[in-house]
Structure 1
Amino acid sequence: MYVQHLSLTDFRSYGQVEVPLEAGITVFVGPNGVGKTNIVEAIGYLASMSSHRVSTDKPLIAFDAERALIRGRLVRGAQTTSVEVEINADRANRARINRANPVRASDAAGILRTVLFAPEDLTLVKGDPSSRRRFLDELMVTLLPHRAGISADYERVLKQRNALLKSARISGKFSASHEATLDVWDQHLAQAGARLLHARLEVLAQLQPHLERAYRQLTDGSKTAEAIYRSTLSGPPNDGAPGGGDDFLGALGVADLTDRFIAELLSQRKKELDRGISLVGPHRDDVELILGGTIAKGYASHGETWSLALALRLSSYYLLMDDDQTPGAGPVLILDDVFAELDASRRKKLAAIVSGAEQVLVTAAVGEDIPEALAGRQFQVIPGGLVDGDA
C-alpha cells in the first residue's frame, strides 16, 4: 500500500499544499520548525483519525480557519481509493470515501495503515503506563478498526462511574441508593473492561514473537525482549505469579474476565469510595517491558532503550504484514526525524530493515542524517510548501 498523492488545506502550517508521492522511499528535508512533521502527521491522521503529537484536533487547524482538510489518494495493489477527512473546530469531523456522501470520520479509519517511528517513542520505554496502553490500543484498532468502539465504550462507562464515586465522596454519605447504582455501574464497567482487556491480551500475544525478532535484528542479539501485561485484576489464589497472575488472565474468555473484574471491584470498593475514583480496570494497567530478564524502565542503557522503542514499532509493522499478506496491503512506514537520534550502527540496521517496504516516508533536518540505504526521492521543505529535489 502507498499514498500516491496528499493534499492539505489549512492543516497546521499549510494553507494549501499538494504533495505528489510514489511507491518506494521519499525523504523530506528541512530545518526544524518548517513543517516536515506536519506532512507525515497528516498521513498518520488519515490512517487512524488521530495525531501522534497532540491529543485534541484543534491544534491541527490553521490559525483563523474553521476547518482543515486532508485528502489522500491511496493505492493498494490494483485498487485506488480516495479518502478525504474534514477536521472541524466546533462540530464532529467528517470523511468522504471515493467522493461519496459524508460519513463519520471513524468510518474511514483503517483504510490506510501506517506505522510511525518518532523521537517520542522513547516514552514507550521510559514513560508512564499510559504511553504503553496507548501503543497497544492503537495497534489493536489498526488491526481491527471496529475495536475502536471497545475503547470508547469503556471510557464512557468509566467516566460515569467515576462521577458517581466522586459524588459519594464529596457528600460523605453512601446510601442504599448509591450502592444499588454503583452495583449497576460495576456490571457495565466489568463487561466493557473485560472486552478491552481480552482484546489487549490477544494483540500482545500476537506481537510478542515479532518483538523478539525485531530486537534481535536491531542489536547483537545477546538479550531477549519481552512485553508482559500487568493487570489490576488479581491472579488465581496462591499461583505465585508476579504482578497478579497475568499469564492466567490471558487464558480466560470475556465472561470469566467479567466475573473476575466484578469480584475485584467489590474487594476494592471501600478504597474507591474513599478516593472517589475507579482503581480497577484497563485504565490502570501496564505493559512491562523486559530485556534479558530485567525490567527495561530505569535499568536499560540509552542505546538499549532506543533499540527497544524501535523494536516495538518494527514489531507492529511485522504484525500488520502478517495480518494481511495480500500483495500491496503492507502499511506505509513513516520515520519522523529518528535518524538524528541514533548512532551509526542503529541507523544502518534500521535503514536496512525498512528499506524494502512498499512505501517509506522519512523526515530529517539535514540530508546527512539519512542512511545510504534510504536514498530516494527528496523534497526540500520550505515555509508553507515543498520544492521537489528531483525536478
Structure 2
Amino acid sequence: MHVSHLSLADFRSYAGVEVPLGPGVSAFVGPNGQGKTNLVEAVGYLATLGSHRVSSDAPLVRIGADRAVIRAVVVQGERQQLVELELNPGRANRARINRSSQARPRDVLGIVRTVLFAPEDLALVKGDPGERRRFLDELITARFPRMAGVRSDYDRVLKQRNTLLKSAAMARRHGGRSGADLSTLDVWDQHLARAGAELLVQRLDLIAALQPLTDKAYEQLAPGGGPVALDYRGSVGEELADAGGREELYALLLGALGSARKQEIERGVTLVGPHRDDLVLQLGRLPAKGYASHGESWSYALALRLASYDLLRAEGPMGRGEPAFEAGGGPGTARVEGGGRPGEPVLVLDDVFAELDERRRERLAELVAPAEQVLVTAAVDDDVPGVLAGTRFTVADGAVERV
C-alpha cells in the first residue's frame, strides 16, 4: 500500500498544496518551521483520526480559516481509492471515500495505515502510562479498524460514569443523600465492563504478538543489549493473568468495579478499567523507565515501532478478521463480520534521524529501507542516511518542490 497523491487545503501552514508521491522513499527537507512535519502529520491523521503532535483539531486548521481538508489517493495492489477528511473544530468532522459521503469519520479507518517514528516516541519509554496506552490502542485500531467504535464507546461510558460519581461525591461532601443519583450505576458498570473487556482482550493479544518482534528489533538496533519484555499491569489486580477470555475479563472487571465502588464514590472518579492500566517495559531485569540510558530508551522506542510495522505487514491484506464485539452494544451482542485490511503500512520518520547517534541512525535506515513507502522529514540533507536515497522535496515558504 502507498499514498500516490496528497492534497491539503487550509491545513496547518498550507492554504493549499499538492504533493505527488510514489513507492519508495520520499524525503522532505527544509529548515525547521517550514511545514515538513505538517505533510506527514496529515498522512498520519488519515490513518488514526488524530495528530501525534496535538490532542485537538483546532491547531490543524490554518489561522483565519474555518475548516481544513486532507485528501489522499491510496493505492493497494490494483485498487485505487480517494479518501477525504474535512476537519471542523467545534463541529462534526466529515469524511468521504471516492467522493461518497460517509456516516462517520471513522469509516475511513483502515484505508491508510501508518507506523510513525518521531522525537515524541521517547515518551513511550520515559513518559506517563497514557502514552503507552495510546500506543497500544492506536495499533489495535490499525489491526482492527472497528475497534475505534469500541474505544469510543468506552470513553463515552467512562465520561458518563465519572459524571455520576462526581455528582454523588459532591452530594456526600455537602451532607446530601446520593442513593437516587447512583440508581443507574449498576447499568453503567455493565457497559463499562463489556467495552473494557473487549479492549483488554485486544491489548493482551497485541502484547503477546509484539513481544518476540520487539525483542528481535531491539537486538537488531542494539546487539547484546537485551532482552526486553512487555508486561501488562491491569488495575483489576493480579487476577488478570489468569483470565482466559472476554467473558472472564468482563466478570473480572465487573467484580473489581463493585469492590472499588465505595472508594470511587468518595473520590468521584472511576478507579478500575483499561484507562488506569499500564504497559511496563522491561530491559533485562529492570523496568526501562527510570533505569534505561538515553540511548537504550531510544532503542526501545524504535524497537516498539519496528515491531508494530512487522506485525502489520505480517498480517497481510486480509488480516485476522475483526473482534467479536459490536460497537455500541452490551452483553450478548453479535459477532461483527470479518473484513479485509490494507497491506504493508506507510513508514513515517519525522525528524527522527537528527535525534540518533550515527550507529542507530544507520541501523534504523537499513531496517526501514525495504518498505513499500517511506516518508522522511529532515532539516538538512545530511540527516537523511544514504541508504534512503529516493525522491527529494524541498519545503520552504509554504511551497513543496521536487528536486
What is the TM-score normalised by the length of structure 1?
0.93
| Aligned residue among 180, 186, 190 for 2:189 | 186
- Distance, in Å, in 2 between the alignment partners of 1:117 and 1:293 is 26
The aligned runs of 1:249-328 (5 Å cut-off) are 249=243, 252-324=244-316
Rounded to whole Å, the distance in 2 between the matches of 1:179 and 1:104 is 33
Q: Does 1:17 align with 2:11?
A: no
Moved more, 189-198 or 339-348: 189-198
Following superposition, the deviation at residue 101 of structure 1 comes to 3.4
User: How high is the sequence identity, in percent, across the aligned residues?
Assistant: 56
| Equivalence for 1:361 | 375
Q: Alpha carbons of 1:179 and 1:104: their partners in 2 closer, same or farther (altered >3 Å)?
A: closer
Q: CA RMSD in A?
A: 1.5
**1:12-54 CA distance string (max 9 Å, x none):** 0000111011110111001111100000000111122211111
Paired position in structure 2 for 1:247: 241
- What is the distance in 1 between the residues matched to 2:240 and 2:303? 23
Match of 1:153 in 2: 153
Contact 1:68 1:86 in 2 (8 A): yes
- What is the alpha-carbon distance in structure 2 between the residues aligned to residue 278 and residue 99 of structure 1? 42
Distance in 1, Cα, partners of 2:231 & 2:185: 31
Match of 1:7 in 2: 7
State how far apart, in whole Å, the 1-side matches of 2:283 and 2:395 are. Answer: 39
- Greater Cα offset, 80-89 or 289-298: 80-89
Query: Distance in 2 between the 1:325 and 1:70 partners?
Result: 24
Q: Kindly provide the amino acid, as one letter, of the partner of residue 256 in structure 1.
A: E
CA distance in 2, matches of 1:315, 1:216: 12
**How far is 1:348 from its partner?**
0.7
Q: Which letter does structure 2 place at the counterpart of 1:77?
A: G
The range that moved more, 123-132 or 46-55, is 46-55
1:337 matches 2:351: yes
Report deviation, 1:174: 4.7
Shift of 1:350: 0.3
1:208 aligned to 2:231? no
Q: 1:220 aligns with which of 212, 220, 223?
A: 223
Distance, in Å, in 1 between the alignment partners of 2:220 and 2:281 is 17
In 1, are the aligned partners of 2:228 and 2:282 still within 8 Å (CA)? yes
Q: Which portions of structure 1, spanning 4 or more consecutive aligned residues, are displaced by more than 4 angstroms?
A: 325-328
The CA distance in 2 between the partners of 1:233 and 1:328, in whole Å, is: 35
Distance 1:94 1:179, change over 3 A: closer
Q: Report the Cα distance in structure 2 between the residues aligned to 1:25 and 1:373, rounded to whole angstroms.
A: 10
Take 1:368 and 1:32, find their aligned partners in 2: how far apart are those partners?
A: 15
CA distance in 2, matches of 1:123, 1:302: 11
Give the total of aligned pairs: 378
CA contact (8 A) 2:95 2:102 kept: yes
Find the residue that maps to 1:112 and give its secondary structure. coil
SS of equivalent to 2:149: helix
Contact 1:317 1:331 in 2 (8 A): yes
Letter paired with 2:278: D
Partner of 1:48: 48
Q: Deviations over 1:187-229 (max 9, x none)?
A: 2222221121112111111111111111111111331111111
What is the one-letter code of the residue matched to 1:292? G
Note the C-alpha offset of 1:376.
1.3
Cα deviation code 1:137-181 (max 9, x no counterpart): 000001010001111111111111111111111111454434432
* 2-structure distance, mates of 1:352, 1:309: 17
Deviations 1:49-85 (A, max 9, x none): 2111111111111111111111111111121111111
Contact 2:240 2:249 in 1 (8 A): no
Aligned to 1:166: 166
Gaps of 5+ in 1: 235-243
CA distance in 2: counterparts of 1:193 and 1:73, whole angstroms: 35
Shift of 1:231: 0.1
Partner of 1:145, secondary structure, is: coil
- Check whether the contact 1:328–1:358 (CA below 8 A) recurs between aligned residues: no
Cα separation, 1, equivalents of 2:26 and 2:178: 63
Matches of 1:127 and 1:90, distance apart in 2 = 29
Over 3 Å counting, the alpha-carbon distance change for 1:284 and 1:328 in structure 2 is closer
Q: Tell me, in whole angstroms, the C-alpha distance in 2 between the residues paired with 1:191 and 1:69.
A: 36
- In the alignment, the residues of structure 1 paired with residue 69 and residue 342 of structure 2 have an alpha-carbon distance, to the nearest angstrom, of 26
d(CA) in 2 for partners of 1:266 and 1:46?
A: 39
State how far apart, in whole Å, the 2-side matches of 1:158 and 1:296 are: 30
Give unmatched runs, 5+ long, in structure 2: 319-340
In the aligned structure 1, how far is the partner of 2:112 from the partner of 2:3?
8
Distance (whole Å) between structure 2 residues aligned to residue 231 and residue 181 of structure 1: 25
Offset of residue 374 of structure 1: 0.8
Worse-matched range after superposition: 5-14 or 195-204 = 195-204
Q: Could you say which residue in structure 2 is the equivalent of 1:352?
A: 366
Contact 2:6 2:71 in 1 (8 A): yes
Aligned match of 1:241: none
Corresponding letter in the other structure for 2:225: S
For the structure 1 residues 63 and 95, does the alpha-carbon distance in structure 2 shift closer, same or farther, using more than 3 Å as the test? same
Alpha carbons 1:77, 1:328 under 8 Å: kept: no
